[in-house]
């Protein structure tokens, strides 16, 4: 009875209590939502897209390759990776999935070579990976030395002047050092029997401990005369397959017939090249290589010290608007070549367009621009140098293979394909006309 006499709360009071409870619940819910949203915004991976590869694709790429990531050429390299691995790659917002492998699509040189080997499954791919890897390491070292040459006192002539190579050219300090770096890297690959360098009088035999079945020819630092002016330079290389494994007795004073034949195997036409490439040291360090199945370019990412695919499946334009020649020799040229160049200047060539002249004096720099923009690069023979100045084994043949793999052409003159030229001596020179197919064809007709 006492309880029934207790006063009951008024309707206004009950409404106030209900509103108060609803407000508290609303505040709690808002706090929970805000907390979750803040956590997402604070997450370093929630504000960008991730590229997820299916398990089959991830398993095709070694785990150690996942560290070689960069932003350079991401999208182009990503598309190339998807085609190479054959995976259905999906780009989606970041998800909180533990253990997920994240790949931004960038492809390192090592990863590229491994994927190519998996795709083609041809004999000798493992050897080629080791060779290209050794060359890339040498290129990184040379690039580093070029960048600090002025600081480290590596500019100027070797031995204070008077050091002359077999070409009759005075050697720069970096010529000598770059040659040693490249020889050491190739030797350590364990896949080379003979190394032929522009800076050496004769091919260098690799001792039996490191000997292999390939032959390397290279110009360690093309355009080194420009090094003191900090103008682009480069390394050019070609790889041949030896007829048989080259084993040389380093303690013998005389070469056996087999060993002499091994050295003679250096004298092969460019069409026998199994790989070729160049590395350009400029505002960027760019490595362009072919193993006979297309041409690809890689840019050195200094933040991780790795070459990243930035120019997949390179193709030269059918025609360009630039010619690159040393016109200081104009009056020593064949009159037919003079007429051809005059027509380009006046816009009276086959295209009807006036061409621009660009010439650096470093073959790698001039050729790289020609490869990207089209046109023609030439170092013809003249009255002073009937065979031109470019070496067949170290420069002309490797560059010719590179251009043909990109859809270009390279000739010594009308009807003379550089890659068909049989070398008679190691340091043989030859005229070179290289570039877009339409431009080279027009030049050949003009010289005929």
Distance, in Å, from the CA atom of 439 to the CA atom of 448, rounded to the nearest integer, reads: 14
Mean pLDDT of 314-319: 97
Contact indicator for 423, 392 with CB cutoff of 8 Å:
yes
Please tell me the number of Cα atoms within 13 Å of 150 on its side-chain side.
Answer: 7
pLDDT at 398: 97
pLDDT band at 9 (very low <50, low <70, confident <90, very high): low
Of 179, 136, 173, nearest to 157 by C-alpha is 173
pLDDT over 50 (residue 361): yes
- Banded pLDDT at 36 (limits 50, 70, 90): very low
- Rounded to whole angstroms, the Cα distance separating 369 from 316 reads 10
Q: Phi-psi bin for 252: left (phi > 0), alpha (psi -120 to 50), beta?
A: beta
Is the pLDDT assigned to residue 274 strictly greater than 90?
yes
> Quick one: how far is CA 177 from the chain centroid?
22
Q: CA 273, CA 269: separation in Å to the nearest integer? A: 8
Q: What 3-state DSSP class applies to 372?
A: helix
Phi-psi region of 133 (alpha: psi -120 to 50; beta: other; left: phi over 0): alpha
Rounded to an integer, the average pLDDT of 421-427 is 90
Going by pLDDT thresholds of 50, 70 and 90, the confidence category of residue 224 is confident
User: Which letter does DSSP use for residue 195 in this model?
Assistant: E
What pLDDT, on a 0 to 100 scale, did the predictor assign at position 444?
A: 96
Task: Please check the confidence at residue 322 and state whether its pLDDT lies above 90.
Answer: yes
Backbone dihedral angles phi then psi of residue 148, each to the nearest 5 degrees: -115, 20
- Per the model's pLDDT, the better-predicted residue between 129 and 398 turns out to be 398
145: closest CA among 237, 236, 238, 227? 227
Residue 311 in this model has a pLDDT that exceeds 80: yes
Instruction: With cut-offs at 50, 70 and 90, classify the pLDDT of residue 15.
Output: low
**Can you say how many angstroms the Cα of residue 96 is from the centroid of all Cα atoms in its chain?**
37
Helix or strand (DSSP H, E) at 329: none
Is the pLDDT at 95 greater than 80, yes or no?
no
Find the Cα–Cα–Cα–Cα dihedral 384, 385, 390, 391, rounded to 10°: -140
Q: What is the mean pLDDT of residues 159-168?
A: 60
Q: Would you state the pLDDT for residue 228?
A: 84
Is the pTM value of this prediction over 0.95?
no
Whether residue 114 is predicted with pLDDT greater than 80 in this model: the reply is yes
């Amino acid at each position: 009875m006492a309880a029934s006499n207790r006063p009951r709360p008024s309707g206004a009071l009950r409404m106030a209590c209900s509103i108060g409870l609803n407000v508290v619940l609303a505040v709690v819910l808002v706090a929970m939502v805000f907390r979750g949203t803040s956590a997402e915004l604070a997450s370093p991976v929630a504000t960008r897209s991730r590229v997820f590869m299916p398990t089959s694709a991830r398993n095709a790429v070694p785990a150690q390759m996942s560290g070689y990531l960069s932003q350079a050429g991401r999208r182009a390299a990503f598309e190339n990776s998807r085609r190479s691995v054959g995976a259905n790659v999906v780009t989606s917002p970041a998800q909180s999935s533990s253990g997920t492998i994240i790949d931004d699509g960038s492809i390192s040189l090592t990863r590229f070579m491994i994927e190519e080997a998996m795709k083609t499954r041809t004999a000798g791919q493992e050897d080629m990976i080791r060779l290209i890897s050794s060359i890339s390491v040498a290129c990184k070292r040379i690039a580093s030395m070029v960048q600090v040459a002025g600081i480290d006192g590596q500019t100027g002539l070797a031995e204070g002047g008077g050091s002359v190579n077999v070409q009759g050219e005075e050697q720069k300090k970096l010529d000598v050092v770059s040659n040693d770096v490249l020889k050491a890297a190739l030797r350590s690959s364990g896949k080379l029997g003979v190394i032929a360098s522009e800076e050496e009088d004769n091919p260098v035999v690799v001792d039996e401990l490191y000997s292999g079945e390939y032959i390397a020819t290279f110009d360690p630092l093309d355009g080194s005369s420009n090094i003191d002016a900090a103008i682009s330079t480069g390394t050019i290389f070609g790889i041949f397959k030896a007829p048989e494994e080259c084993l040389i007795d380093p303690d013998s004073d005389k070469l056996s017939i087999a060993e002499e034949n091994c050295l003679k195997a250096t004298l092969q036409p460019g069409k026998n090249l199994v790989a070729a490439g160049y590395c350009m040291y400029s505002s960027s360090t760019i490595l362009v290589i072919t193993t006979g199945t297309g041409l690809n370019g890689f840019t050195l990412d200094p933040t991780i010290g790795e070459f990243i695919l930035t120019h997949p499946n390179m193709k030269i334009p059918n025609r360009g608007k630039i010619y690159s020649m040393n016109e200081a020799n104009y009056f020593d040229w064949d009159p037919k070549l003079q007429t051809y160049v005059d027509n380009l200047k006046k816009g009276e060539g086959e295209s009807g367009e006036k061409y621009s002249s660009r010439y650096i004096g470093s073959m790698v720099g001039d050729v790289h621009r020609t490869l990207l923009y089209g046109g023609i690069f030439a170092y013809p023979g003249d009255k002073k140098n009937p065979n031109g100045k470019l070496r067949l084994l170290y420069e002309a043949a490797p560059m010719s293979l590179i251009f043909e793999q990109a859809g270009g052409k390279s000739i010594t003159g009308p009807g003379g394909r550089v890659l068909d030229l049989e070398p008679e001596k190691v340091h043989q020179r030859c005229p070179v006309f290289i570039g877009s197919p339409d431009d080279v064809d027009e030049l050949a007709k003009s010289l005929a």
